[in-house]
Amino acid sequence: MRIAIDIDSTLHHYWDVLSRAAERRFGISLPYEEQVTWGITRLRPEQLELCIAETHNEENVLAGRPYPNAVQTIGRWHGAGHFIHITSHRTPASYPATEHWLRRIGLPYDELYCSRDKVARCRQLEIDVLIDDSPLNLMRAAEHGIVPATIVHPWNRDLCEEEDVVFGRDWFELERRLAPVLGTASSTGDLQPPPDDPGAAQADPGQARKPASTEPGLHRPESEAPARGERRAQRRRRQPGTRRAIDRARAAVRRRAA
């Protein structure tokens, strides 16, 4: 399969870098848990642009620390023969530093793309799965028959609960949930979606991976989390959608092979 993977907030925890730039330049904080929409309204557009440019300078790009199991998962996918397209909404000027960073963290890939219209490039490359935290990109990908997948963040949580998005709270969970889409075993050997309940995992910390220790706020605070019964109902509602997305991806692959 052909997999496109975003960088910021997908391969590493970008939010803190952006928030630090906003704080330093304009004295404006951007609390992660309060960022429940895609738009950043606390900064004016020109302020936001300056902050984003700062996050993509060489020093910041090279300082990025990949999320646990991200590099390992992608390495396994690449080793299994999947095409890996790394895509980032950053200017071409950031390309050399980004390339350097990918080499430094040991992430294997087939193409790196630094530009604005990710989904258009995904369509050119006949990408099957897009992993990206942007709700806009996820929805656009789905419209074009590309399976949308993401690491869960406050700004895409609602989309994950309502739409056909394959999601994981971390790269361990995302790898497991994408295993049936990609037809590969995850690092835990799962080929089928695990019978896990995200809510149940939260209720039993012994069962849960702990992704949030270096990524504060990746989980919804317990007080805001839906009740366990509601979470089960959400999961039941979501699963047929995920299956449809998987079926669509497999049909696309079959059509291409025909």
Q: Which of 1, 70, 84, 133 binds Mg ion (CB under 5 A)?
A: 133
Q: Which of 2, 8, 12, 97 binds Mg ion (CB under 5 A)?
A: 8
Number of amino acids touching Mg ion (CB under 5 A): 4
Stretch that binds Mg ion, among 9-17, 169-177, 182-190, 220-228 (CB under 5 A): 9-17
Which listed residue (9, 19, 35, 73) binds Mg ion by CB under 5 A?
9
Give me 242's structure tokens: 């995920």
Nearer CB in complex with Mg ion: 26/38? 38
Which pairing describes strands 111-114 and 83-88: parallel, antiparallel, or unpaired?
A: parallel
| Candidates 41-49, 133-141, 148-156, 209-217; binding stretch for Mg ion (CB under 5 A) | 133-141
DSSP labels, 54-91: HHTSHHHHHH--BPTTHHHHHHHHHHTT-EEEEEESS-
Our CB check for Mg ion shows the closer of 8 and 128 to be 8
Measured from the CB atom, the residue of 6 and 170 that comes closer to Mg ion is: 6
Q: Interface with Mg ion by CB under 5 A: which range of 4-12, 170-178, 199-207, 237-245?
A: 4-12
Q: Which residues of 161-189 are buried (b: 16+ CB within 10 A; e: fewer)?
A: bebbbbbbbbbbbbbbbbbbbbebebeee
Q: Looking at the chain, how many residues does it have?
A: 258
Contact flag: residue 6 with Mg ion (CB under 5 A): yes
Interface region with Mg ion, contact rule CB under 5 A, candidates 1-9, 50-58, 69-77, 145-153: 1-9
Distance CA 155, CA 134 (A): 8
Q: In whole angstroms, how close is the CB of 148 to Mg ion at the nearest point? A: 13
3-class secondary structure, 207: coil
Closest CA to 190 of 205, 211, 174: 174
Does residue 215 interact with Mg ion by CB under 5 A?
A: no
Please identify, using beta-carbon distances, which residue of 141 and 252 lies nearer to Mg ion: 141
Contact 122, 146 (CB under 8 A): yes
* 29-67 exposure pattern, b = at least 16 Cβ within 10 A, e = fewer: ebebeebeeeebeebeeebbeebbebbbeeebbeebebb
* Minimal distance, residue 25 CB to Mg ion, in Å: 21
CB 42, min distance to Mg ion, A: 18
Residues near Mg ion (CB under 5 A): 6, 8-9, 133
